[in-house]
Structure formats: C-alpha cells, structure tokens
Amino acid sequence: MSNTPLVNTPLLGLAAEQKSAEVTDWAARIGWLVGLALFVALVYWLMRQGWKWRATLQGDLPELPTAPSEPGPATLSMSGRYHGSTTAGQWLDRIVAHGLGTRSRAELTLTDAGLRVVRPGAADFFVPAAALREARLDKGIAGKVLAEGGLLVVTWAHGDTLLDSGFRSDHAAEHAAWVEAINSMNQTNTTEGAAR
C-alpha cells in the first residue's frame, strides 16, 4: 500500500473557480448619497419658493384683526387643532398670507365680540362677530381629509375675501354646538343689520 495522499481533483477545480467577494465601491455609494441629498434639498427649496410665491400673490389680504381688550364672557371654548384656511368654497386653495397657512394647536373662544383663535407657535387671529358668515361640519380642507363631519369649518369675511378656516376639536362631539352657536350668532347679526 502506498502512503501517497489521494487528491480529489474535482474539488480543487471548484476552489480555483471561486472568486472572492467584490469589495464595496464606497466612492460610488457616497456619490449617490450626496446626489440624493442634493435632490431632496432642491425639492424642499422649490416647495419653499412656491409657499413664498403664494404668500406674495395673497399680499392684498389685509392684516388680521386683533382681539379687543374686553371681548366679553365666553359663550364656547374649545382646544384642538387649526388645519388651515382656504378661499371659501375652494377647499384646496390654501391661504398662506399672514400665517394663516401654518397648522398648529389652537384654543378657540367664542364671545359676543367674535371668534378668538390663539395658536401657540403661530400668529393668533380674531374674527369679529360681524365678519362671521356660517359654520358647518365638513370632511376636508387643504391637505387634511377626515371622516365626514370630522372638521369644523368656519366661513368668515376678511377684507373683500370670504375664507374657510378648518378646526378639529380634541373632542369632536363639541363641533355641533359650535355650528349652532356661530350660525345663530350670524342670524342675529343679520336680523339686527336688516332692522337698522
């Protein structure tokens, strides 16, 4: 018997054919990441420019009224979210002038003087009672769509423009009381104006 080791020739051929794993091309990966970051920055910049352009186009809207120092006792109050304002009847035509396009938390207070909207981190505004036109329950406004009746939409006059402002209470059951109160306030103001 021979002491020579047996060599398995087919296994040697397989080992010779195998290649080592390809090394990652870091330069190409970094190039792609930088390109992607630049593309995202460009899209963000274009969106920002569009927002500014829209504000410029809406520059004819007057400054927002401020709340009177003595607005009277609160008829209703609510905390929730402000979802934005649009041109009345055109739920996708967002108003961005004077900070009306900024979504935020909101505290609403309805008095005989009007509707006060306090927004932490954004500009507060006040809608005088004479400017209130109507309130209704709706499902959407400029980029926010909810279940039917999930949004309180208040229509009001600002200068020569009618606006719709959308709010959502932390307790959606409150919406119906707000619709009734604002519409009855508007009806009272209309009746008093006609009597004069």
Q: 120 and 81, same structural domain?
A: yes
Q: Is the pTM of this model over 0.85?
A: no
Domain that holds residue 126: 76-195
**Is the residue at 3 inside a domain?**
no
DSSP assignments along 117-178, one per residue: EE-TTS--EEEEGGGEEEEEEESEETTEE-STT-EEEEEEEETTEEEEEEEEESSGGGHHHH
Q: What is the CATH number of the domain that holds 142?
A: 2.30.29.30
Q: Count CB atoms within 10 A of the CB of residue 130.
A: 14
**pLDDT in 10s for each residue of the chain, 196 residues:** 556 555 555 555 555 556 655 667 888 889 999 999 999 999 999 888 877 777 677 777 888 888 888 878 888 999 999 998 888 888 788 888 888 888 899 999 999 999 999 999 888 999 999 999 999 998 878 777 777 778 999 999 988 889 999 999 998 888 999 999 999 887 766 555 544 5
Residue 183 domain-assigned? Answer: yes
